[in-house]
Structure 1
Amino acid sequence: MMSSTEKQISFTENWFKQTMDTLQNEGTWVNLGVAVIKIILILFVANLVIRFGKIAIHNIFKIRNLSPLNTSERREETLSKLLDNILSYVVYFIALMMILSVFGINVQALIAGAGIVGLAVGFGAQNLVKDIITGFFIIFEDQFSVGDHIRIGQFEGNVETIGLRTTKIKSWTGEVHILPNGSITQVTNFSLNNSLAVVDIGIAYGEDLEKAERVIDELLIKMPAQNEDLTKTPELLGIQTMSPTEIVYRIIAETLPMKQASAARLIRKEVKLVLDQHGIKVPYPKLVAYSQGDQPK
């Protein structure tokens, strides 16, 4: 009877001998070389399919732009990126299955086993399924697209990417917020319609109000030609309030989406300059001091 130590030594010797015989066999290296060549060809063809597939996707959207049924640029960019990702996932999955088959692995049995495992995992992955379904409806209903400025809860910024599972929002200070699509219940989209700039201009008491209105109106007529963010001529509504120190005029201007802040700053600057040119004063703080012996009348 052989002891356990002798059996282990004998097993090691047999394994080493079989390994050396395999490595010295010319057919082993031929098969390995053929397998490596097949894998390289599979990866090469997969990359070609992905590259030409992406080109075809973008060309399809270019052709749609020439048709009367073209979609908006924001939606096209979202759909093209999504289709690029789906194409990459599908092609790489097929390539992986082909590589496994090169090594003699039964791919059909592997896929069948993965389906059973996936079914079991699916019961515990309800949040993932919810994210994917919500992401599909976000894209299908065009709730928002890449490049839109939106607010979701406490997060606000420009949409960087939209996937079937997550959405990335970049705030104006540079932070990127990654939100699961399933958590998106309410969205405020600031990029769908034009914005409105509201500007209040103060005029000092004692100034010629009719002259001030005429000067401001003449300025506003010229402003759309100077600022492409303005979609129409700004409108002087008239006196908004009369405070103890000033008379406040209100101006409204329709602008491109999310351009109201820059347009309002430009309007304030131009109105101030034109009022100064015509000698119309804006209100400024006044300080009245009394000496101890003076009696106010």
Structure 2
Amino acid sequence: MEDLTTEKGFKKNIIDKFQNEDTWINLGEGLLKIFIIMAIANIIIRIGKVAIHNVFKLRNLSPLNKSERREETLAKLLDNTLTYVVYFIAIMMVLSVLGIDVKALIAGAGVVGLAVGFGAQSLVKDVISGFFIIFEDQFSVGDHIRVAEYEGNVEAIGLRTTRIKSWTGEVHILPNGSITQVTNFSLNNSIAIIDIAISYGEDIEKAQKIIEDALIKMPSQYEALVATPTLLGIQTMGPTEVVLRVTAETLPMQHAGIARMIRKDIKVILDNHGIKVPSPKYIMYPDGQK
């Protein structure tokens, strides 16, 4: 009987509360505050993102700018950071409007975060290292890099890991905290080195003139060439040949392909002019004779 009375009293209190005008006024004020908080948060995020991208647009116009990809990567990182921070503050304000003790919640979260931090030191190290990799422009997506024994193109950069794909297809996923030394092959132009062997019996001066005339035409044939290749002269003199060296400045990581093309073109041109490369010579002795 007492339980029934208590249940009826509880239901009556709920009904009276919803029939009270103050309840609906307070509810409306709370919803309005939440709406205003979220609206202001969205406006701040939009304005912040526009400001961030405008700053990087100005940097892209500067002659000191190195790579648009790095600027885009850093801009996205700052966009995400701004979004997380603003929404975290907005959620805390919403919880405060709902009557939840935010201070106690933050204090509890701090204790939990401290406990987790002791057990996730490597994770924190990876995240911090990832931030500085992006912030310091060490490398970006698409760059060709070498980290310890791993070498390849960067497929993705995160705050925790970096993914590198080697030219044979293997994908290496490296924690950012383990990346202590990086060799980036994509920051500057590459140099192709081509050695051309000419027989001793050939006219070296004529061969050099033919090669130089051919090199002048190559920038119009190959877009990867930054400048006209240069014939440096005689590099070495072997037992059967004189070796001429050609160098060519190319776009980053294009030197291997350009070297093959230049080597083929020079070989064809020398053959057309009757200039021969050295052929190996063998001396055979009958058995027992030297």
TM-score when scaled to structure 2? Answer: 0.74
Structure 2 counterpart of 1:72, from 50, 57, 66: 66
In structure 1, distance between residues paired with 2:34 and 2:182: 46
In structure 1, distance between residues paired with 2:238 and 2:191: 23
1:110: how far off? Answer: 0.7
Instruction: Give the letter for the 1:104 counterpart.
Output: G
Residues 1:238 and 2:234 aligned together = yes
**Alignment-derived partner of residue 83 in structure 2:** 88
1:171: how far off? Answer: 4.2
> How many residues matched?
278
**Where in structure 1 are there 5+ consecutive unaligned residues?**
288-297
With 185-194 and 247-256 compared, the bigger mean Cα shift is at 247-256
In structure 1, distance between residues paired with 2:37 and 2:169: 40
**Alignment-derived partner of residue 149 in structure 2:** 154
Instruction: Provide the secondary structure at the position in 2 that maps to 1:219.
Output: helix
Instruction: Provide the secondary structure at the position in 1 that maps to 2:247.
Output: strand
Task: Describe the superposition over 1:19-74 as per-residue Cα deviations: whole angstroms up to 9, x where unpaired.
Answer: 9956x946788877876776666555544433442222111122234457x44225
Q: Name the CA shift for 1:14/1:272 in 2 (closer, same or farther; >3 Å).
A: farther
TM-score when scaled to structure 1? Answer: 0.72
Structure 2 counterpart of 1:194, from 189, 192, 204: 189
**Alignment-derived partner of residue 224 in structure 2:** 229
Instruction: Give the letter for the 1:262 counterpart.
Output: G
1:151: how far off? Answer: 1.2
In structure 1, distance between residues paired with 2:114 and 2:244: 66
Q: Name the CA shift for 1:32/1:272 in 2 (closer, same or farther; >3 Å).
A: farther
Q: Name the CA shift for 1:96/1:155 in 2 (closer, same or farther; >3 Å).
A: farther
Instruction: Provide the secondary structure at the position in 1 that maps to 2:154.
Output: strand
Instruction: Provide the secondary structure at the position in 2 that maps to 1:238.
Output: strand
In structure 2, distance between residues paired with 1:20 and 1:282: 104
1:257: how far off? Answer: 2.0
Instruction: Provide the secondary structure at the position in 1 that maps to 2:228.
Output: coil
The question of whether the paired residues in 1 share the 8 Å contact of 2:74 and 2:135 is answered with: no
Instruction: Give the letter for the 1:218 counterpart.
Output: D
Task: Describe the superposition over 1:122-153 as per-residue Cα deviations: whole angstroms up to 9, x where unpaired.
Answer: 22222123223333443454433444321112
